[in-house]
Amino acid sequence: MQELLTFPTDELLKEYEVVVSISQRNESNPIETDANQIQFSNLLKEAKEKLCELYDEKYCNTLLEKVQTLVDHTDFWRTMTESAVFYITPEEVYYYRLSVPIHTGTVVSKRPYILPLISNFQYVSYYHLLALNHDKFSLYNGRKNKLQQVDLPEDAPDTLTKALGDELTGGQINVASYNGGEVGGGQGVFHGHNEKSGEVEIDQENYFREVDRYVYENFSKPSQLPLVLFALPKNIADFERFSKNDYLDETRIEASPAQLSFNEIQEQTQEVVDEIINRRYKALVERFNETKPEFRLEAQYDDLAMASIQGKIDVLLLEDDYQVFGTMDENGQYHHGPENNVYVNQLVHKVLETNGNVYVLEKASMPSDTGIAAILRF
């Protein structure tokens, strides 16, 4: 079973013989996992009923047994977030932990049902937050405006003395602080066995280089997630100067994390993330409103289907829980039918496959009153 951290991915945009998509909104209390486990068990039963309409029971059991052990896996559910989506394919099981509420349900089809993922990733991706001080750091997994601290191994260079050891040139370093923070906006007053500021600066540079290498090799490179810095302006400037991490993001939080609690770090991060989300939403609405009518489509299902096949759709806007009955064929023709939201899922797949962007908005936030709209490239 593989947790996915980015979206969209090749695994989700391909077609399978069959894929079972399970979307679950979880209980908010991670300690009391029984409700989540019972709900997941019930969703597996629902999925099996749908799957067995297409395949024999032996095949259904073989496919679903890949996740059956999760029903009793209490530790797994204790690390669960607000929602989760599972994709059970004949080869592998993929899952996401989401920080937004979603609609609970199951879908059996040839393509993953990806609509529940859109709102989680539409403005900000998952990321790592590096809370950096002059002589120590901590790392967090960021999912929208929610943080989870990473438990670093014992050999992690999370302090300057651990990282450099005998290679410290400036001696054992301590930094005086006032009012619970680092002095002078991050300049610090260094005390040690010798007072040579040049040697202290060398230690600082060597430490930041080691932190950069460690975070890149163990977190950024494997996950390919953006790295956001939470540090004083001087430390940010120094770290950016030395960093070779291709995933270092332009977003930064300029404050000292030295004396902050986890909740305080999360609050300041949430302010920055919420500001980014609001800014990007306003830019999206402004762009839609300024788009000429000939480069916009609304609830014209045939035209939307054809435009998606031709790669014309740059932005697709959907009202949350917007429903269309029917399907889209490979020629870009819409066919009304009993299938619920198959068409919308097909449309979203086509837009993402052609490098378009998809947004799911609350009804009050939609710039169009039709529930579905698109901005065309040409």
> What secondary structure does DSSP assign to 254-317, as a single string?
ES--TT--HHHHHHHHHHHHHHHHHHHHHHHHHHHHHS-GGGEE-S-HHHHHHHHHTT-EEEEE
Partner residues linked to 83 by β-bridges = 25, 98
pLDDT value of residue 125 = 87
Give the pLDDT mean for 339-360. Answer: 95
> Tokens at residue 28, please?
């908010």
The answer to whether the CB of 127 falls within 8 A of the CB of 116 is no
Q: Which tens digit of pLDDT belongs to each residue from 79-92?
A: 888 999 999 999 99
Give the pLDDT mean for 226-251. Answer: 96
pLDDT value of residue 176 = 41
Exposure string over 81-119, b if 16+ CB within 10 A, otherwise e:
bbbbbbbbbeeebbbbbbbbebebbbbbbebbbbbbbbb
The pLDDT of residue 355 is above 90: yes
Contacts of 345 by beta carbon, 8 Å cutoff, 6+ apart: 107, 109, 111, 113, 114, 115
CA–CA separation, 108 and 118 (whole Å): 19
Partner residues linked to 84 by β-bridges = 24, 97
Going by their DSSP bridges, the two strands 313-319 and 357-361 should be labelled as parallel
Q: Which tens digit of pLDDT belongs to each residue from 8-24?
A: 999 999 999 999 999 99
Domains of the chain: 1-122 (3.30.960), 127-280 (3.30.420.60), 291-378 (3.30.1330.30)
The answer to whether the CB of 106 falls within 8 A of the CB of 43 is yes
- pLDDT confidence band for 144 (50 / 70 / 90): confident
- pLDDT confidence band for 197 (50 / 70 / 90): low
The pLDDT of residue 188 is above 60: no
Q: What is the mean pLDDT of the chain?
A: 90
CA–CA separation, 108 and 88 (whole Å): 10
pLDDT value of residue 173 = 43
Q: Is the peptide bond before 293 cis (omega within 30 degrees of 0)?
A: no
Give the pLDDT mean for 358-365. Answer: 95
292 phi, psi to nearest 5 deg: -65, 150
> Tokens at residue 107, please?
């879908």
Secondary structure tally for the chain: helices H, strands E = 12, 19
The pLDDT of residue 343 is above 90: yes
Residue 182 in 3-state DSSP?
strand
Between 106 and 193, residue with greater pLDDT: 106
Give the pLDDT mean for 282-311. Answer: 96
CA–CA separation, 77 and 70 (whole Å): 8
> What's the length of the chain?
378
Give the pLDDT mean for 126-133. Answer: 97
pTM of the model: 0.85
The pLDDT of residue 324 is above 80: yes
Q: Which tens digit of pLDDT belongs to each residue from 21-32?
A: 999 999 866 677
pLDDT value of residue 133 = 95
The pLDDT of residue 103 is above 60: yes
363 phi, psi to nearest 5 deg: -55, -45
pLDDT value of residue 170 = 58
pLDDT value of residue 201 = 81
Between 66 and 181, residue with greater pLDDT: 66
The pLDDT of residue 202 is above 90: no
The tally of CA atoms less than 13 A away on the side-chain side of residue 107 is 21
